[in-house]
Structure 1
């Protein structure tokens, strides 16, 4: 456990992507099985210990230290695991530190009845760094900049194997990934069984930027605002997200829709009110979001937000791998294949007609359908290559919407931002501010600003606080922020009745008076315009 704790500590203070890769690769090389497999699962948030919850951890620590001290320390540090690891009283006779595998076994065995005795006993066997690592492992809240993709690249780097093979073989394996490590170290053949739904790495696009593009060489499709999905049918059907996560359980209505061995690439959407035009029928991302990460889906949700996939590529069919073929050949095969599919579950992403970049820019700017966020440009002769190859696919997102809001609340961030107020809630006026209208929260953002702007905002929050609610500070409504967002939708979950998609701070408008900020009616008009 000590080596894993050292790894987490080093990852926290390493900002370089290559630095993180080197740290993880070195750990995987020198750590024996099964510890390295369990550590890899922890880094990718692939472990779940139902009895070990944040509320349990907080209750245990306030039984041992002054509750006010813990609350103040947690507010200052900004991370529960770090606060508990530092405040936890050292035992009179510390025990032998567990291995990662032993810690996982003990955490897995804990129940709601035994956790209050078993977890303290385990924490007492560790020093502060070890307690921090254990609590992060138990709660799955690593927040150290390590994504599943980064972990896979580090694995490939550690054992000098292709990352595309790692991504393909990863799925269907379970922690501690013994078969995966046996293959990577040359002790066994690849961990893949015939007929199993195997994930294939996605082909991704570059932002177009100022790249000159000859439209005679490229086909144009809409960039749909759903989630990229790969549908694989072998002995059974599996649905994978862009990161390779298995999301099949969230969309059960799609699992019986295929009967041919096939791998399809498309955008997963849910049905909504007809939007107009031949591409109608897709609801906003806000509607899709209600379906994500659910272990069970209600009958009502299946009826009101039925899922379907808008297809744009065919990777494999039967034993034939179509990925080496040019895009136009794969497209022709897809158009033929889709005629045999259930139209309620699958449809085809249409080609967007454009004769010039200028004409395409006009089409893109006018596309404010709730399920469209821009256009994709794909070379007609491009094979399907894993990763983000240069010059083949481009994405051209529509310009963001902008609105002026007033800063209302702030909360400290996590990790390297734990000392700064970096999570900002902002609102718009529900009527005329000069006539006493109130501000209603319309969004929350923790991105879009530079490090220098973060320091400025943190200072503003600290010097303009009028109230405190635990870790949250209420400000005096004196600062206007220009907020950029991709789209806005009606929402019953928020007091304002609105939900922004990807809000971020575009500019700090210290030059504007708060009463000059936008009103709720302006945002509602945007909802109506997008619908």
Structure 2
């Protein structure tokens, strides 16, 4: 556990991407099986460990600590796992040095414990672990490592460790399971590459480069096709040899949330497309907003009513496999022709083809980009007609040309501490704009943001929260926000839609704090009517 705990500590404190990759590659290279397999699963989020409820941990720590003292400690630290790891006291007579339990030993005890045994087992393990190992254990059982590492970054570390291409790791990923005892011997050069029984695996997606200031000047519009960039989520649908899977662009299996899509996929092949909610162009029904799609995302099961209220479909972009034939080396035009033929025969309520955008010059396309025909469009995709489908992001074949982000000035209303290295800072903010209610001007919350600001700006925001807290609701702090006293921030966001789930009636897409407006008073912030006007008529 000590080596795993040290890895987590160093990952949290290491901001550089390449340094994180090196840390993980070294750990995987020098740690035996199955410990490294369990560590890989924990970091990549593929561990199916039954999490322990925070209430159980609170009960355990209050057996050995005064409740008021614990509450003050938790308030100061801001993270439950870190607080317990710091304040936990072993019972009398437990001062002797402890043996270093292996990660696999801890996992085995947790996996074999019955429900009635969990309380005592967690107490026992907390007594046997020290310092950072105790913290790592608590993070493991609560299911929230929060160390700034994505699943793709872990895969890159594996690729570096084994000196293989990351696409080989991604192709194998969903055919293997923790503790990955078939994966590491291959990466160590001691065994052949694992052979998968499941053919419907994820293949690394092709990514586009954002259009820069001078990128288009040297390019001929005749060499490119343009498509609308739809505001859903990029997915890959695989249906091969009777196995059907739906993957996100990062390779996460999201099949359970979209059984209607899998059932309707009566063709063989692998499609790259956009997952959306509403009606397809083939049914002449409106495509709905990203906030509607969110009702279906991240669910393990969906009800029949949800399937009816939020029907999902895929808008096809590309075809990777036609049947079992790999057509990625073919040109974009060839692949699109085969995709078009496939979708023509597919269920019209669940599949349509992303239309091409006719244009003759970059200036004409720019005008179309800034004023698209549908609010669910967030920009333009440009694809070379002769481009093969290659994994990753290489500049030249594909470009994305997004609409300019929306901007409003809003007032900070609530704050909450962050996680990981931000656990001591108030870094998660709820902001609002003005509207009229019962003849008075009031602030109404319209969104939340926890990034976009620099570390120096975070210091400013954190200090303001601490000095201007007016109420506390558990971990949430209500901030002083009046017409002449408050903190104004400029918020940038990619889109905005009506939402019945929010008090304000609106939901923002990807909001972030882009600027601290210390030059403005709260009374000068924007109004709800301004945001509603951005959406247009209901």
The TM-score, its normalising length taken from structure 1, stands at: 0.95
Within 5 Å, which residues of 2 pair with 1:7-406?
A: 7-50=7-50, 52-91=52-91, 92-93=93-94, 95-193=98-196, 196-210=199-213, 211-212=215-216, 213-234=219-240, 235-271=242-278, 281-367=286-372, 369-406=374-411
* Residue of 517, 523, 526 corresponding to 1:515: 523
The 8 Å contact of residues 40 and 151 in structure 1, kept in 2 or not, is answered as: yes
Inter-partner Cα distance in structure 2 for 1:345 and 1:474: 44
1:443 aligns with 2:451: no
Inter-partner Cα distance in structure 1 for 2:151 and 2:186: 19
Q: CA deviation at 1:114?
A: 1.9
* Residue matched to 1:430: 435
Three-state SS of the structure 2 residue aligned to 1:113 is helix
The 8 Å contact of residues 331 and 388 in structure 2, kept in 1 or not, is answered as: yes
Q: CA deviation at 1:431?
A: 1.3
Q: CA deviation at 1:337?
A: 2.0
Q: CA deviation at 1:181?
A: 1.6
Q: CA deviation at 1:31?
A: 0.7
The 8 Å contact of residues 263 and 314 in structure 1, kept in 2 or not, is answered as: yes
Closer/same/farther in 2, CA of residues 278 and 256 from structure 1, 3 Å limit? closer
The 8 Å contact of residues 234 and 249 in structure 2, kept in 1 or not, is answered as: yes
Aligned length: 527
Inter-partner Cα distance in structure 2 for 1:165 and 1:345: 31
Inter-partner Cα distance in structure 2 for 1:121 and 1:421: 33
Closer/same/farther in 2, CA of residues 406 and 51 from structure 1, 3 Å limit? closer
The 8 Å contact of residues 447 and 504 in structure 1, kept in 2 or not, is answered as: yes
Closer/same/farther in 2, CA of residues 60 and 233 from structure 1, 3 Å limit? same
The 8 Å contact of residues 51 and 110 in structure 1, kept in 2 or not, is answered as: no
In terms of mean alpha carbon deviation, does 65-74 or 135-144 score higher?
65-74
Tell me which stretches of 4 or more aligned residues in structure 1 moved more than 4 Å: 276-280
The 8 Å contact of residues 279 and 350 in structure 1, kept in 2 or not, is answered as: no
C-alpha deviations, 1:284-332, integer Å up to 9, x for none?
1111111011111010110111111000101112332111111111111
Q: CA deviation at 1:104?
A: 1.1
C-alpha deviations, 1:163-207, integer Å up to 9, x for none?
110110111211001111232233433323356211111111111
Three-state SS of the structure 2 residue aligned to 1:153 is helix
Q: CA deviation at 1:9?
A: 1.2
Inter-partner Cα distance in structure 2 for 1:269 and 1:20: 34
The 8 Å contact of residues 221 and 349 in structure 1, kept in 2 or not, is answered as: yes
Q: CA deviation at 1:463?
A: 2.4
Q: CA deviation at 1:220?
A: 0.7
Q: CA deviation at 1:277?
A: 11
Three-state SS of the structure 2 residue aligned to 1:12 is helix
In terms of mean alpha carbon deviation, does 188-197 or 298-307 score higher?
188-197
Give the unaligned 5+ runs of structure 2: none
1:505 aligns with 2:513: yes
Closer/same/farther in 2, CA of residues 85 and 399 from structure 1, 3 Å limit? same
Inter-partner Cα distance in structure 1 for 2:397 and 2:330: 13
* Residue matched to 2:5: 5
C-alpha deviations, 1:460-508, integer Å up to 9, x for none?
2222222233332222212222211112222222222221111111222
In terms of mean alpha carbon deviation, does 471-480 or 344-353 score higher?
471-480
The 8 Å contact of residues 276 and 287 in structure 2, kept in 1 or not, is answered as: yes
RMSD value, Cα = 2.0
The 8 Å contact of residues 77 and 83 in structure 1, kept in 2 or not, is answered as: yes
In terms of mean alpha carbon deviation, does 177-186 or 381-390 score higher?
177-186
Three-state SS of the structure 2 residue aligned to 1:407 is strand
C-alpha deviations, 1:228-253, integer Å up to 9, x for none?
11111112110011110111010001
Inter-partner Cα distance in structure 2 for 1:25 and 1:40: 10
Inter-partner Cα distance in structure 1 for 2:77 and 2:466: 16
Three-state SS of the structure 2 residue aligned to 1:114 is helix
The TM-score, its normalising length taken from structure 2, stands at: 0.93
